[in-house]
């Protein structure tokens, strides 16, 4: 059997098998997670309790041209909870999707699930940026992507806390 006999949708990308491409997606996920943990540790977030929970078995639907690895979606859920003031919490889920072999899309796609506009919630990564090791340029792009997501979660949590305060004040008749 020649390489031309193999359906490109069943083969990996860049000469890698799907297993190797999945390993690159996991490396990207690890880079995202380490970057988020480093940024979340900063004093800016001292009021927030943030927990990271990785779930490889979640059944998310991949975007067109991408696939779910055999081991499950490569995803992380982050829940931010206010420690003081009005009780509030917000969450986000970020997933790394490997491309289908013959699809006309970038090799790996990072998506913050369920948020619009989608263009600001995505990070496209070429295989040569993460394999065999992450490039410095990719590290900078990941840092910026994570910083945007953290800032958005902090903003959403602040809004949720304000709504909690406003609703409590409104319910108790203490608006002034």
Asked whether residue 157 carries a pLDDT value surpassing 50, the answer given is yes
If DSSP codes are grouped into helix, strand and coil, which group holds residue 123?
strand
Q: What is the pTM of this model?
A: 0.81
Average pLDDT over residues 117-136: 88
125, 106 contact by CB (below 8 A):
yes
Average pLDDT over residues 111-131: 84
Ramachandran angles phi, psi of 129, nearest 5°: -85, -20
pLDDT digits (tens, 9 = 90+) for 42-88: 655 666 667 777 877 777 889 999 999 988 899 988 888 887 667 78
Asked whether residue 170 carries a pLDDT value surpassing 50, the answer given is no
60, 76 contact by CB (below 8 A):
no
What Rg do the C-alpha atoms of the chain give, in angstroms?
19
Question: Angle, nearest 10°, between helix axes 18-40 and 136-172?
Answer: 50
Report the chain's mean pLDDT, rounded to a whole number: 81
Per DSSP bridges, beta strands 108-112 and 48-54 are unpaired
Interacting residues of 56 by C-beta distance below 8 A, sequence separation 6+: 71, 72, 73, 74, 75
Q: Which residue has the higher pLDDT, 170 or 74?
A: 74
Average pLDDT over residues 21-45: 86
Tokens of 108: 């790996």
As a whole number of angstroms, the distance between CA 71 and CA 26 comes to: 11
88, 48 contact by CB (below 8 A):
no
Asked whether residue 176 carries a pLDDT value surpassing 60, the answer given is no
As a whole number of angstroms, the distance between CA 113 and CA 118 comes to: 9
Tokens of 146: 């994570």
Asked whether residue 40 carries a pLDDT value surpassing 50, the answer given is yes
Other beta carbons within 10 angstroms of residue 36's beta carbon come to 23
């Amino acid at each position: 059997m020649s390489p031309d006999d193999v359906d490109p949708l069943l083969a990996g990308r860049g000469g890698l098998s799907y297993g190797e491409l999945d390993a690159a997606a996991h490396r990207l996920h690890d880079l995202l997670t380490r970057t988020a943990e480093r940024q979340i540790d900063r004093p800016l977030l001292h009021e927030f309790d943030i927990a990271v929970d990785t779930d490889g078995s979640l059944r998310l639907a991949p975007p067109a041209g991408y696939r779910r690895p055999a081991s499950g979606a490569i995803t992380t859920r982050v829940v931010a909870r206010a420690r003081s003031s009005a009780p509030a919490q917000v969450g986000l889920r970020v997933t790394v999707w490997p491309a289908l072999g013959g699809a006309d899309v970038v090799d790996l796609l990072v998506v913050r699930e369920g948020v619009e506009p989608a263009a600001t919630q995505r990070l496209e990564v070429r295989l040569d940026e993460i394999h065999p090791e992450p490039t410095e340029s990719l590290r900078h792009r990941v840092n910026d992507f994570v910083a945007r997501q953290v800032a958005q979660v902090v903003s959403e949590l602040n809004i949720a806390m304000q709504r909690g305060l406003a609703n409590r004040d409104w319910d108790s008749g203490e608006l002034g």
